[in-house]
Amino acid sequence: MSVDQDTSQDSGEGSLSMPNDWFPSGWPSYLPQHQAMMLCMLFGTATVRGLRGSLDEVVQQLFNGEPGAFFGRNGGTLDSPVVWMDDDELEYLETDEEKEQFRADAAEHQARCEGLLRAAGVVVPTTLRELAGSMLALGIATVQDGVWSMQYPLPGPEAVLDLTDLERDRIATMRRIWERGPAESSLLNHLTDDLGRPDELFTSVDRLARASEVSEDDVRYALGRMIQEDEARLERGTPRSQVNLDDLKNHERFHLVADWQHFDDNRITVRRG
């Protein structure tokens, strides 16, 4: 099964399904973010439930032809206009200068994405219906004789769009974070919930792996993230000095010194259901 039911909304007849790899795929950065996600949920739900028919027929089956707020506003339909910039985000900006800069950045981003779509021979969408067509053209979903399907993993934008090396690197980094996310959460839960956030812990990579029930490679990734974000450092020896994680073997003991205040101030933790 290519689509897992890990994101839900009440559609009146059950939950809606979102592909697990939608966010790490990279597409939210190159399509109208919120509306593309909603359409991806429609594609995923049609795939999981085995719904048959055109996009209009799928909408009819899910919402009795009245998707309303699901498409972002009351009365929304497949013919509603595409929205690249979410005006709600302006509420968090305090000054007119910040709002103007936000609008300028959003306009530049939209122009960049539309240019990439155009260069790839894909219609630049102006309505949700056209956006659905563009997403089908990009291979995000397919419909053949009324049967919907989605690949796993989803083909990423780097396979279709002419991205820069920097953009490709950003997508690759983001995917690594998402893929390691559950294992990283397991280690952090062990440190915070099981051990009560110790300021210092004498341990090793293999001990942390057993305690948090993840692989040693995942422990190294999670520790590396904490070190990179200045949330922790590793010390060893007499007298003690800071050591490099890559220089330690899995069984070698070290002191894990954590800065939980810095962690709380800077870390955003995402839990996926």
Q: Which residues contact residue 25 at a Cβ distance below 8 angstroms, ignoring those fewer than 6 apart?
A: 19, 153, 154, 155, 156, 157
User: What single-letter amino acid sits at 224?
Assistant: G
pTM > 0.85: no
End-to-end CA distance of the chain: 17
Enclosing H/E stretch for 57: helix 55-63
Give the CA distances from residue 159 to residues 27, 32, 154, in Å, rounded to whole numbers and listed in that order.
Answer: 11, 19, 10
Angle between helices 128-137 and 33-49 (to 10 degrees): 70
The shares of helix, strand and coil residues in the chain, as percent rounded to the nearest 5, are 50, 10, 40
Give me the residues of the chain with pLDDT under 50, please: 1-12, 270-273
pLDDT at 184: 84
- Boundaries of CATH 1.10.10.10 in the chain? 172-266
User: What single-letter amino acid sits at 169?
Assistant: D
d(CA 263, CA 240): 23
Q: Which residues contact residue 228 at a Cβ distance below 8 angstroms, ignoring those fewer than 6 apart?
A: none
Count of CA atoms in the C-beta half-sphere (13 A) of 75: 1
Q: Which residues contact residue 230 at a Cβ distance below 8 angstroms, ignoring those fewer than 6 apart?
A: 259, 262
pLDDT at 270: 43
Query: Options 2.170.120.12, 3.30.70.260, 1.10.10.10, 1.10.8.100; which CATH number does 172-266 get?
Result: 1.10.10.10
pLDDT at 8: 38
For 84-123, the pLDDT digits (tens) are: 987 777 777 778 888 888 889 999 999 999 999 999 999 9
pLDDT at 9: 40
Strand ranges inside 122-168, DSSP E: 142-144, 147-149
pLDDT at 253: 96
